[in-house]
Amino acid sequence: MSLLILTDLHLTANKPAGRIGDFISDVDRKLDEVLQITRDNNIEAILCAGDVFHRPDVLYSTVARFVSFLERLHIKFITISGSHDLFGNNLDALYRTALGLLERLNMVELLYPDIRPATRIGGITVGISGTNTDIELAHGSILPKPEMGEYTLIKDYKTRSKIVVVGHYHNGYDIVKSNNTKFICPGSLVRVSANSVELTRRPRVAIVDDNFDVNWIELKSAKQGKEVLSPPLVTKQIDFSNIMAEWKMDNIENISATSLLKEIASKDSVSKEVLDFALNFLEQQRSL
């Protein structure tokens, strides 16, 4: 029996600011490849460590595309909720999210505390942090060494599981062993921002077998980072106070967003590159 491990799909119809090119087609090609990997390797279930969606209230078109993938999958898609799947990390509001909808429709199997903390697939028990299971799914910065921001070091993470699958940390890392546990972090399936790691990293999935051995598969459909990622533009801070004072707010329904962007650019000497980026992004939002 084999399980396919992935995390951080960040499905959305709105191209993230750090992406260039045809974002939706790029993601669809990855999902098609994941589907083929499940068939070629007799995968019995997919385990995802959270952030299926880029935000909890994604557009219907995004949910529909993922449902199409799930319908072709013909195996269980088991996940935990990630930080992007929930409103303010509030599980009580799960019913208002895209992930909550898919759970109610029995399209995904969602694991979370006190309700369904674990499920058995063949000879492997799958669960989340806090349960005595063979495989845990954890969404958070559980890292082998210190980094900036909030994190938990692997050596301080308490578990009896044979494998802990770590989501949320987009850069990913290879297998790290601590006591009798393997920590694996595939990294985000979908790259949404440019940094030195993401520009060179190839998105991948892992396959776990009955012996809890882990094999990595890099996605052939994933393009080179420089083809899909755009380093963030750095501009000076814009002072909106004078601009807003000049616009008559009692007539705001007649204000053109395009005209406002152009005026801001003119008054603050914003470069043509930044202005074109903003205007193109605005046009993309109008077309959704």
pLDDT tens string for the chain (288 positions)? 799 999 999 999 988 888 999 999 999 999 999 999 999 999 999 999 999 999 999 999 999 999 999 999 999 999 999 999 999 888 889 999 999 999 999 999 998 765 555 555 556 666 665 556 788 899 999 999 998 888 899 999 988 889 999 999 999 999 999 999 999 999 999 999 888 889 999 999 999 998 899 999 999 999 999 999 987 654 455 555 555 555 444 444 455 677 766 777 776 667 777 777 777 666 655 444
List, in order, residues 6 or more apart from 52 with CB less than 8 Å away. Answer: 9, 11, 66, 79, 82, 85, 98, 99, 108
CA dihedral 139, 142, 143, 146 (to 10 degrees): 120
Q: Are 172 and 187 in contact (CB under 8 A)?
A: yes
Query: 2-228 belongs to which homologous superfamily?
Result: Metallo-dependent phosphatases (3.60.21.10)
pTM (two decimals)? 0.78
Domain ranges for the chain, please list them.
Answer: 2-228, 241-286
Amino acid at 140: G
